[in-house]
Amino acid sequence: MTTRELNLAYMNVDAEQAIRHYSQAYQKLYKRTPKDMEALDSEWVVINGARMRVMELQYVTNQLEQEYHQGVEQRRNLINRIVRWLKQ
């Protein structure tokens, strides 16, 4: 394996890692697996038919995680309000 191939393999790990993180966030939020996930090279991936840079995928993953945590917080607040109302 040449140095260039080793570098590409290492970079693809980053793309693969970004895809794994995206998949985990997507599954937590939507309770299903995203389709068509592929690392094209060290900088580009395809997710659900959309081609994007790894940095863009990381941004989308962060958005999914924020949306998930907002939903959890909203449910927690609703439960706390119900508990307080029942205690009255």
pLDDT at 86: 93
For the chain, what are the domain ranges?
3-87
pLDDT at 5: 54
Q: In whole angstroms, what is the distance from residue 31 CA to residue 77 CA?
A: 22
In this prediction the pTM is 0.76
Q: Which residues of the chain have pLDDT under 50?
A: 6-10, 12
Tokens matching residue 14: 């980053």
- Quote the strand ranges of 2-69, DSSP E: 37-39, 44-47, 50-53
- Tell me if 43 sits within 8 A of 52, measured CB to CB: no
Residue whose C-alpha is closest to residue 72's, from 25, 39, 33:
25
